[in-house]
Structure 1
Amino acid sequence: MQTVGILGGAGFIGSYVTQKFLNEGYIVKVSTTDLAKPEKYQHLHQLSLAENLTIREVDVTNEAALGEFLRDCNIVVHSGTPFQLAAENPQKEVFEPTVRGTENFLKVVSQTPSVQKVVFVASVGALNTAYPMPVPYYPVDHLYTEADEPYLDPEAIPYARAKYYADQAVRTFVATYPQPGFEIVSVSPTGVMGKPLSAREDSTSVGLQYLIKHKIAPNPFVQMMFDHDVEMAIVSVSDVAEGIFRAATTAGLHGRNYLINSESYKISDMTLMLNGRSPINAARNVYSYALAAQELGMQFQPAYVPLSEWADV
């Protein structure tokens, strides 16, 4: 049995990734920032095959602690950036832990002989920090692909900018060390939707679905999405976990970055689907999933599938 270490394996996406690897017969180690807060991770003990799961407290800025966590791991999934729409101190709350954590991780994993594959869970925000708004200089019918130059909007939400900077750190590492002794692959999901595997109340992804369903705008960013009836690219959280697993277990992908996406709908249509009704407008393909389909064999569920999971909530 191979061992996979999952940083952030108790979060919204991470929980699905943890379950996927357990189902596939792996020994799984999950990191948490504080073992004294079991409400953050206790749901993982209810997953099937949880007897093959251990949960460790890890500070990703502590190289010794991170090295101990990574020891004996064959695969490592880095999914440790919490999704935040706003922050009082972006530098301290988001940028520093994300970017410094990524740089520390790359240093430590390079010193861990057992590691064969690293998967970074990036974000569509690393490609377009203005998401869900379009890149301003592209035509309205532009199909975003992995070949596009990443766009940095200095006014974007802190999460998107943090993902951009972290992704740039990964790209720089890959360019500097083309043969590091292990493979690095990044996956960039669009708007991740679906039902959580936990009852955690601190999931922004879950909270965003609630806000869109009930047309609640607690901050200017969400109000902007309603005001402009923004078109949002959507993907099921279970498909994200599947894409991460396939990226982790397919050889020969070093340096690749895959968009993980299904369809795009306007916010008004998402509200309808989250309430069990049919959309008025047709879906569009705004972010390409062609590379993930071709090289990872992915088949993405229609957007209504994860949205319909919230129709009765």
Structure 2
Amino acid sequence: MVSKQKTILVTGASGFMGTHIVEEFLSAGYIVRGTVRSEEAALKVRRTFPDQESRLDLTIVPDMAQAHAFDEAVKDVHGVVHNASPFHTQVQSNERELLRPSIDGTTNILSAVQAHAPDVKRVVLTSSFAAMVDMSLGNRPGHVYSEKDWNPITYQQAKKALTPPVLAYTAAKTGAEHAAWDFMQASYPHFDLVTILPAMVYGPNRNATANLASLNTSSADLYRIMSPESKPDDPVPPNVLYSWVDVRDVAFAHRRAFEVPEAGGNRFFLCEGNFTNQQVADILRDKLPELRSRVPVGTPGSGFEGVDMYKIDHSRSEKVLGVKYHSLEQTVVDSAKAFLQLEQRMPVVV
């Protein structure tokens, strides 16, 4: 257990992943200061952690892309986890709504730490598999993705009006991480940097006010397979992405990235492996029989149906951070049980 005098700033504290990161640090004995965009979001976080009032402080940062946005938030903290990042699929401007907020928000918080947080020795940045994957190459049979990989998409490509928002998002995460490492090289700050690169993040929702009508992107992707609108004879939805990780493993990795001295200056790829939605459907029908009336049957046991694709190397996260990955079955079952609890609180009308 760490000293209760250690205060960690976690940006994006009200989000799906941010909530788990906050919980991970609180459970380990830290004081947490979380940033949110509104008082409504702050109330959401407080409701999630009703017994942590003395160790959870929330501060409102309405626009992280504004210069000096984090100057007050970073004061008197001992570590920073920058998790906040915009992700919208309906945008009018890739540059204004995705690229600039992600990149500027990252440089803003690093600059704020350098100027106003002398006790911070490490910043942990939530990057993404999006900053590694080359989507132009598809499934890349024979390739093994690791921390050595960088997404080659450029800022100029991403800001074009015809570039799909999902590609612009990958460029935003790539640009933000590049900007962070460039800052470290150019500024020689009093702290070091660790970046965490999760694949598609699944797992149980912890937000006390989570709503089935406005789930985060990955949760909605999973819930559609078991929602009351789904039927056994429906086709199994195609995968959006194939690589995945449990949100609890991601939260654990963020804490360990702050604590482990050897982690400094490194990227860490967080990914259990690859999966298909057919495997998810098989697990749901097998482990939660009450869902058989809604989960698509598809082709049970077909797995990847002979599709060859890239592999992943997550050994650095295991060796340095000590991550022990949840299995797909654990993640799917725990996620589904959390969705069912939400249905009881907020019934879905079909």
Does TM-score exceed 0.5, indicating one fold?
yes
Higher mean C-alpha deviation, range 168-177 or range 49-58:
168-177
Which of 16, 22, 25 is the aligned partner of 1:21? 25
Higher mean C-alpha deviation, range 182-191 or range 37-46:
37-46
Q: Give 3-state SS (helix, strand or coil) of 1:255's partner.
A: coil
Is 1:183 the counterpart of 2:184? The answer is: no
Which of 51, 55, 68 is the aligned partner of 1:52? 55
Q: Deviations 1:220-268 (Å, cap 9, x if unpaired)?
A: xxxxx945x5661111100000000000111143321100110211232
Q: Give 3-state SS (helix, strand or coil) of 1:30's partner.
A: strand
Identify the residue that residue 144 of structure 2 maps to in structure 1.
143
Identify the residue that residue 110 of structure 2 maps to in structure 1.
106
Q: Which consecutive unaligned segments of at least 5 residues does structure 2 have?
A: 158-162, 231-235, 288-299, 341-350
Q: Give 3-state SS (helix, strand or coil) of 1:69's partner.
A: coil
Q: Which consecutive unaligned segments of at least 5 residues does structure 1 have?
A: 218-224
Distance 1:270 1:87, change over 3 A: farther
Which of 270, 283, 306 is the aligned partner of 1:273? 283
Matches within 5 A, 1:1-313: 1-38=5-42, 40-46=44-50, 48-58=51-61, 59-111=63-115, 112-128=117-133, 130=135, 136=137, 139-152=140-153, 154=157, 155=163, 157=166, 158-177=168-187, 179-198=188-207, 199-201=209-211, 202=214, 203-214=216-227, 226=237, 232-276=242-286, 280-281=302-303, 286-312=311-337, 313=340
- CA displacement at 1:109 relative to structure 2: 1.4
RMSD: 2.8
Identify the residue that residue 297 of structure 2 maps to in structure 1.
none
Q: Deviations 1:20-72 (Å, cap 9, x if unpaired)?
A: 111111111001111145564343333x5342001111132344451111001
Identity rate of aligned residues, in percent?
23
Contact 1:73 1:114 in 2 (8 A): yes
- The separation in 2 between residues aligned to 1:311 and 1:32, in whole angstroms, is 27
Distance 1:285 1:296, change over 3 A: farther
**TM-score normalized by the length of structure 1:** 0.85
Aligned length: 299
Contact 2:200 2:244 in 1 (8 A): yes
Runs of 4+ in 1 over 6 A off after TM superposition: 282-285
- The separation in 2 between residues aligned to 1:51 and 1:96, in whole angstroms, is 35
Contact 1:23 1:49 in 2 (8 A): no
Contact 1:124 1:189 in 2 (8 A): yes
